[in-house]
């Protein structure tokens, strides 16, 4: 089998990862490759996954899913960013808004000019006054136009993602995948059939002595990693020293009206709490570290801080932050929770499924399993995970909080060198760069660095080329235009109402 073309792909698992894989592979590979998906209703899915990042729009476009149809099918709302409350210190809040803040002047990034003007006392403390996304989020507004700075009179247009019900999304993707010929197999996998010499999988075996044979297996079986770990014993890199969250209580509550177009994340004594407004309910969760609090106390924190009535009993999920040592092992590629999990702080998990699929297609083993393809896949995956990990760790490391043992421990923890170097460069000179294909670009790093209280000692020397009063005038104009752009948008509720009817009619 190792030198044959891939004619049969078997996807194991029908959670968000499994059905995203089915929809994308069927669309990309066409009818020449037979795709089957095995899932077990008796086992179920994690079914949380409610917040996304803007890249999901590309995935939907690739599979031909119209945005309004997506919002309708998933009870979705718009997400313009995340508001972090109490992370730097109690009472403090800031936003990580999608898209740029301000605009560069020549080649020098915006934040250098703003930092200089703030030091001179000619710009206020609110960096986000130059972010159309942040202003629209605060005002509860959203619209798809303007689409360019020219249309917006010089301000940047909005950049958005979604809040959505991941279980409904998976259901919708299933319909699309099945329409493209993906065969769904219901049943519990109880074993695998492996080649005695190479260890390559030949088939998965199901209860009732059924077999599903394949050439390439996509392991989307969730945390347990049925193929990648239980069959192939690939191993796991444990990142709990940096990201000690290992549990989450999740509970839906009655809708907040109207839904705000951003996620809220409150720091709590031994973790943090999310609030994600959908149209049919609000998603809530408390992510915590069992090393610093017990699960009953953590459940009380969640339930005591709900804004609406709970619609179900809270559900406990447990996990180990980190990633599989190799996501591609022999003829198995792990995606979704089977590949790793870094906690939901910046809503990166569903994106990692999407980027893993794009990577698999770029390195697709059409003429058998060249180990170089797998090695490149694993190198790129490891890089992507490590960069996201660093970005998440920043939220905990850069804090003034020492008021609980958990926060005191985060402030003083040793961090990966890659993050330490980025923080030090920013602290000394205001400079931060995204590297290669970093998921989070400069604007995200700057917002979280500033939001978490890392203030540069100096700014870029090129800010001195332009006279101060010219800079001040430019900043004034830009903040006025940005505010006007945001104020002209319809309310988020009105936008959703129109999305509801746009395709219905």
222 binds ligand FAD (CB under 6 A): yes
Binding part of the chain for ligand FAD, among 15-23, 66-74, 137-145, 450-458 by CB under 6 A, reads 15-23
Tell the smallest beta-carbon distance from residue 255 to ligand FAD (Å). Answer: 18
Q: x/- string (CB under 6 A) for ligand FAD, residues 16-35?
A: xxx-----------------
**Binding residue (CB under 6 A) for ligand FAD from 95, 166, 454, 486:** 166
Q: Max alpha carbon distance in the chain (Å)?
A: 79
**Binding residue (CB under 6 A) for ligand FAD from 77, 221, 331, 355:** 221
* Residue whose CB is less far from ligand FAD, 48 or 216: 48
Phi-psi category of 213—alpha, beta or left, where left has phi over 0 and alpha has psi -120 to 50?
beta
C-alpha span between 332 and 341 (Å, rounded) = 18
**Binding residue (CB under 6 A) for ligand FAD from 10, 23, 38, 71:** 38
C-alpha span between 446 and 431 (Å, rounded) = 9
DSSP state of 226: I
Tell the smallest beta-carbon distance from residue 474 to ligand FAD (Å). Answer: 37
39 binds ligand FAD (CB under 6 A): yes
Give 332's strand partners: 217, 329
Cβ pair 122, 88 in contact under 8 A: no
**Binding residue (CB under 6 A) for ligand FAD from 49, 100, 225, 322:** 49
Catalytic annotation, pick one of 79, 295, 325, 367: 79
Q: x/- string (CB under 6 A) for ligand FAD, residues 395-434?
A: ----------------------------------------
177 binds ligand FAD (CB under 6 A): no
Tell the smallest beta-carbon distance from residue 476 to ligand FAD (Å). Answer: 37
201 binds ligand FAD (CB under 6 A): no
Residue whose structure tokens are 């945001």: 486
Residue whose structure tokens are 């001195």: 464
CB atoms < 10 A from the CB of 376, how many?
15
Tell the smallest beta-carbon distance from residue 57 to ligand FAD (Å). Answer: 14
Binding part of the chain for ligand FAD, among 94-102, 341-349, 373-381, 454-462 by CB under 6 A, reads 341-349
C-alpha span between 425 and 430 (Å, rounded) = 7
Cβ pair 8, 183 in contact under 8 A: no
156 binds ligand FAD (CB under 6 A): no
336 binds ligand FAD (CB under 6 A): yes
Q: Before 258, cis peptide (omega within 30)? A: yes
C-alpha span between 17 and 173 (Å, rounded) = 10
Tell the smallest beta-carbon distance from residue 482 to ligand FAD (Å). Answer: 28
C-alpha span between 383 and 339 (Å, rounded) = 14
Two tokens at 4? 């044959």
Specify whether 325 is catalytic. no
**Binding residue (CB under 6 A) for ligand FAD from 177, 337, 432, 471:** 337
15 marked as part of a ligand binding site: yes
* Residue whose CB is less far from ligand FAD, 115 or 185: 185
The secondary structure of 156-182 as a DSSP string is PPP--EEE--HHHHHHHHHHHHHHTTP
Distances (CA, A) of 185 to 37, 54, 205, 331: 6, 32, 12, 20
* Residue whose CB is less far from ligand FAD, 337 or 454: 337
Two tokens at 191? 């074993």
β-pairing verdict for 236-238 and 322-324: antiparallel
C-alpha span between 447 and 460 (Å, rounded) = 17
C-alpha span between 309 and 317 (Å, rounded) = 21
By CB under 6 A, the residues from 312 to 331 that bind ligand FAD are: 317, 319
Cβ pair 231, 202 in contact under 8 A: no
**Binding residue (CB under 6 A) for ligand FAD from 6, 10, 15, 326:** 15
**Binding residue (CB under 6 A) for ligand FAD from 105, 117, 250, 374:** 250
By CB under 6 A, the residues from 279 to 308 that bind ligand FAD are: 285
Tell the smallest beta-carbon distance from residue 251 to ligand FAD (Å). Answer: 11
Element (H, E) at 39: strand 34-39
C-alpha span between 429 and 440 (Å, rounded) = 20
441 marked as part of a ligand binding site: no
Binding-site residue numbers for FAD are 14-17, 337, 350
Binding-site residue numbers are 14-17, 79, 337, 346, 350
Binding-site residue numbers for L-tryptophan are 346
Residues at the contact surface with ligand FAD, assessed by CB under 6 A:
13-18, 38-40, 43-46, 48-52, 166, 188-189, 220-222, 226, 248, 250, 285, 317, 319, 336-338, 344, 347, 349-350
Binding-site residue numbers for 7-chloro-L-tryptophan are 79
Which residues are catalytic, by number? Answer: 79
């Amino acid at each position: 089998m190792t030198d044959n073309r891939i004619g049969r792909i078997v996807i194991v698992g029908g959670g968000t990862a499994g059905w995203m894989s089915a929809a994308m592979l069927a669309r990309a590979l066409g009818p020449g490759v037979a795709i089957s998906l095995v899932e077990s209703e008796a086992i179920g899915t994690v079914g949380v996954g409610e917040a996304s990042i803007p890249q999901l729009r590309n995935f939907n476009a690739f599979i031909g899913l119209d945005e309004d149809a997506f919002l309708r099918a998933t009870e979705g709302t718009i997400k313009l960013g995340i508001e972090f409350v109490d992370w730097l210190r109690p009472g403090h809040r800031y936003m990580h808004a999608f898209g740029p803040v301000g605009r560069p002047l020549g080649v020098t990034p915006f934040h250098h000019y703003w930092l200089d003007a703030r030091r001179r006392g000619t710009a206020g403390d609110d960096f986000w006054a130059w972010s159309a996304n942040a202003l629209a989020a605060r005002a509860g507004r959203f619209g798809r136009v303007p689409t360019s700075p020219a249309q917006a009179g010089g301000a940047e247009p909005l950049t958005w993602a979604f809040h959505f019900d991941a279980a409904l999304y998976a259901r919708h993707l299933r319909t699309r995948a099945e329409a493209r010929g993906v065969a769904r197999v219901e049943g519990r996998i109880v074993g695998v059939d492996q080649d005695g010499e190479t260890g390559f999988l030949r088939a998965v075996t199901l209860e009732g002595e059924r077999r599903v044979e394949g050439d390439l297996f996509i392991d989307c079986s969730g945390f347990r990693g049925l193929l990648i770990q239980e069959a192939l014993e690939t191993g796991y890199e444990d990142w709990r020293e940096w990201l000690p969250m290992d549990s989450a209580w999740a509970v839906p509550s009655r809708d907040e009206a109207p839904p705000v177009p951003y996620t809220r994340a409150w720091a709590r004594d031994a973790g943090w709490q999310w609030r994600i407004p959908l149209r049919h309910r609000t998603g809530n969760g408390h992510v915590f570290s069992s090393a610093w609090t017990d699960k009953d106390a953590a459940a009380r924190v969640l339930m005591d801080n709900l804004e609406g009535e709970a619609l179900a009993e809270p559900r406990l999920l447990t996990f180990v932050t980190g990633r599989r040592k190799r996501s591609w092992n022999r003829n198995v590629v792990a995606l979704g929770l089977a590949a790793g999990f870094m906690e939901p702080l910046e809503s990166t998990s569903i994106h990692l499924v999407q980027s893993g699929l794009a990577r698999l297609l770029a390195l697709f083993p059409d003429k058998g399993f060249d180990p170089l393809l797998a090695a490149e896949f694993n190198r790129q995956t490891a890089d992507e995970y490590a960069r996201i990990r660093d970005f998440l760790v920043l939220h905990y490391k850069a804090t003034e909080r020492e008021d609980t043992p958990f926060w005191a421990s985060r402030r003083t923890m040793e961090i990966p060198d890659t993050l330490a170097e980025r923080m030090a460069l920013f602290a000394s000179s205001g400079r931060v760069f995204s590297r290669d294909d970093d998921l989070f670009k400069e604007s995200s790093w700057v917002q979280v660095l500033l939001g978490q209280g890392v203030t540069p000692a100096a700014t870029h020397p090129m800010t001195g080329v332009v006279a101060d009063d010219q800079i001040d005038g430019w900043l004034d104009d830009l903040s006025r235009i940005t505010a006007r752009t945001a104020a002209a948008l319809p309310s988020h509720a009105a936008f959703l109402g129109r999305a509801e009817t746009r395709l219905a009619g």
